[in-house]
Chain A
Amino acid sequence: MQLEPLAEDAWLLRFGDTIDVEVNARVHEAAARLQSSLAGVECVPAYASLLLRFNPMDWLDDEGRVSFLRLRDAINAALQQTSASKTASRELIIPVCYGGEAGEDLHDVAAHTRLSLEEVIARHTRPTYRVAMLGFAPGFPYLLGLDPALAMPRRSHPRMSVPSGSVAIGGQQTGIYPQALPGGWQLIGRTPLQLFDPTADAPSLLQPGDRVRFQVIDEHEYRRLT
């Protein structure tokens, strides 16, 4: 684990430099420990790193400078605590209507991967994914665990507006567009669930570290749930 100062009020804890399930699990474990034991420190998890935002005035040394030593010691102490309560990550089921209007690029993905439509869908619904991080836009989950056979480059001409709820593949990642956004990922389906509602108490359906499974629904079911 490396500590890198980013700004006057922010440090980055780096756990690795690859997109890797194990590394990401350590990020979320560290986030849970630090969030519960370092008051006033905000944790922002990413694939292999954790951003810590703090109030520099809480961490001054005798000369009035930000004491990165104090902060580092507090971080290390918090990470070494064995008693930290381990909260089991949640698992959520996301219903998805694959193909057709809801997933305009499913045929392209099948052609690119040389799989049948059914096989693409089967391989996409099989794994349990992990929400590695939320970014790009509010509530947009970057999901870890895509079957490597489904990897497909982004579109050469990104769409000006990808419909809200679109489930998509970009490179070796899969994700869900929480609102209508410009985007270059390949659209394979759509969920009727609302991923982000800024007015709700819990604005994001998914939290970093959550586990996610996709479940096939048909168009009729999609319309019923919308």
Chain B
Amino acid sequence: MHEDGLRDMSIEVIKPGLLSTLQDAGRRGYAALGVGRAGAMDESSWRLANALVGNRNGEAALEITLAGPTLRFRQDAVIAVTGGIIDARADDQQLLPWTSCLLPAGTLLRFGGMQHGCRSYLAVRGGFDAAPVLGSRSTDLHACIGPMDGRSIQAGDVLTVGEHATAPWFHSRKHVQALRWSLDPQPWLDYAQAPLALMRGDHYAALDDASQRALFAQRFSISKDSNRTGSRMDGTPLQLREPLELISEATLPGTLQLPPSGQPILLQVEAPVTGGYPRVGQLAAVDLPRMAQRRPGDAVYFRETSMDEAFQRLRECEESLRCLLQHIEQRLESS
């Protein structure tokens, strides 16, 4: 370590947590070269975390999975934690989730377990700095590209933070503090785990009658073999009327594939961009962040939706998110 040489803002990783990766909006436009999107799995929470620290340019944040890291801040920092509700202590002080906090230089930020959800987002004012790869600071663990050469953070890593002005809403920098207001995670975290909206896929009609009904009626549970590539669904296996011989074609995040085992896989942000399994469904894009917050063992029910309904909900969600982002910006200015 070259402590005295580091004038820039940096954060030392003491413990990495279960799986913590730097993520932004993801890599777009390279699917034809076999490069997937990656990026934050719960994009809404990632955007809100950035907004709470005053970042406006899609800065990279740390996506924390189920159990969080321990980080030493070498400089003052303004942070926010959104997404799954996770235990976070700055030195000995419990930190409020979904709000803006100030950590003075030297603070040890210790994350514990997650009480709700599966993925939390730690944003820091100025954004985590890393050289963009193919236009993005997202970690693609599957393709091994992005920050840290495409791996999750490890003990001993030093994360740097981009340049930023100080946050005007914190007047003193002497002690750990938080704003007096926080966001309501309720609409974003889906505590009730409502059914997720699924459109029929190209090969839905190839399912036998019982499986067509079961897809929209049975309880699936998320397998422990799930990751940023895909969520495997345990349940009564779905059957095709007869085997399909398919050739590989494009797939998307949210595609529900059916491998021969009959246990569907919901493709996630790091899935290969082509695949050869039948596509029995496509998750409404607006429900991708909700899916990202389900953890292994959680139940999933699908309800049928149409393309029109899926798009209307996406638009409405985007509109309310924009309103909220604007509201946060104004509120920070007047804090």
C-beta contact mask, B100-129 vs A, less than 8 Å → 1, else 0? 000000000000000000000000000000
Q: A135-B273, A137-B143 are in contact. Are A51 and B31 (CB under 8 A)?
A: yes
Which residues from B are CB-within-8-Å of A46?
Answer: 247-250, 274
- Contact partner of A204 (CB less than 8 A), chosen from B34, B308, B312, B314, is B34
Residue interface bits A135-155, CB-to-B below 8 A is 1, else 0: 111111010000000000000
B33 within 8 A of A: yes
The complex places the Cα of A125 from the Cα of B134 at a distance, in Å, of 33
Shortest distance between the CB of A146 and any CB in chain B (Å) = 15
Q: Which listed residue (A47, A53, A137) contacts B34, Cβ 8 A? A: A137
Q: How far is the CA of A46 from the CA of B111 in the complex (A)?
A: 44
A65 in contact with B308 given A17-B247, A46-B274, A49-B249 (CB within 8 Å): yes
Residues of A within 8 A of B274 (CB): 46, 133, 135-136
B308 CB to nearest chain A CB (Å): 5
Which B residues from 134 to 161 make CB contacts under 8 A with A?
A: 134, 142-145
Closest to B201 in A: A6
Query: Is the pair A45, B254 in contact by a Cβ cutoff of 8 Å?
Result: no
**Contact of B32 with A47 in the complex, beta carbons under 8 Å:** no
Cβ of B52 < 8 Å from any Cβ of A? Answer: no
Residues of B within 8 A of A (CB): 28-35, 133-134, 142-145, 199, 202, 246-250, 252, 254-255, 272-274, 279, 282, 284-285, 307-308, 310-312, 314-315
A11 to chain B, nearest CB (A): 10
With A19-B247, A46-B250, A47-B248 known as contacts, the answer to whether A135 contacts B311 (CB < 8 A) is: no
Sort A-B residue pairs by CB-CB distance and give the 8 closest, nearest first: A135-B274, A51-B250, A134-B34, A46-B249, A204-B33, A44-B31, A138-B35, A49-B249
Q: Cβ of B133: which chain A residues have Cβ within 8 Å of it? A: 198-199
Q: Is the beta-carbon distance between A179 and B250 smaller than 8 angstroms?
A: no
A66 and B311 contact, Cβ closer than 8 Å, known pairs A9-B285, A138-B35: yes
Q: Which residue of B lies closest to A204 (CB)?
A: B33
Q: Give per-residue flags for A193-207: 1 if the beta carbon is below 8 A from chain B beta carbons, else 0.
A: 000101100011001
Q: What CA separation (Å) do A61 and B228 show in the bound complex?
A: 35
Least CB distance from B120 to A in Å reads: 27
The answer on a CB contact under 8 Å between A42 and B134 is no
Quick one: given A44-B32, A133-B274, A198-B133, are A138 and B143 in contact (CB under 8 Å)?
yes
Is A12 interfacial (CB-CB < 8 Å)? yes
How far does the alpha carbon of A196 sit from the alpha carbon of B315 in the complex, in Å?
Answer: 37
- Residues 170-199 of A at the B interface (beta carbon under 8 Å): 179, 196, 198-199
Q: Give chain A's interface residue range (CB within 8 Å of chain B).
A: 35 or more
Nearest B residue to A20, CB-CB: B247
Separation of A7 and B250 alpha carbons in the complex (Å):
12
B307 touches A47 (CB 8 A): no
Q: Residue on A with the closest CB to B131?
A: A199
- Assess whether A5 is interfacial by the CB under 8 Å rule: yes
Q: A6-B202, A6-B279, A140-B34 are in contact. List 12 more A-B contacts (CB 8 A).
A: A7-B199, A17-B246, A49-B249, A51-B249, A65-B312, A66-B308, A66-B311, A133-B274, A134-B32, A136-B272, A136-B274, A203-B35
Pairwise interchain contact A203-B311, C-beta atoms closer than 8 A: no
Cβ B314 vs Cβ A8 within 8 A: yes
**Residue among A5, A17, A198, A203 with most chain B CB within 10 A:** A198
Q: Is A4 an interface residue (CB 8 A)?
A: yes
A198 cross-chain contacts in B, Cβ below 8 A: 35, 133-134, 145
The CA of A17 and the CA of B206, in the complex, are separated in Å by: 15
A138 touches B310 (CB 8 A): no
Taking a contact as CB atoms under 8 Å apart, the answer to whether A135 and B248 are in contact is yes
Partner of A8, one of B32, B202, B284: B284
Contacts of B307 in A (CB 8 A): 5, 8, 66
Q: In this assembly, does A99 line the interface, its C-beta being within 8 Å of a C-beta of chain B?
A: no
With contact pairs A65-B311, A137-B143 given, residues A8 and B34 touching in the complex (Cβ less than 8 Å): no
CA distance A192 to B252 in the complex (A): 32
- Give the Cβ gap from B10 to chain A, nearest Cβ, in Å: 23
Q: Is the CB of A44 within 8 A of B311?
A: no
Shortest CB-to-CB span from A25 to chain B, Å, is: 15
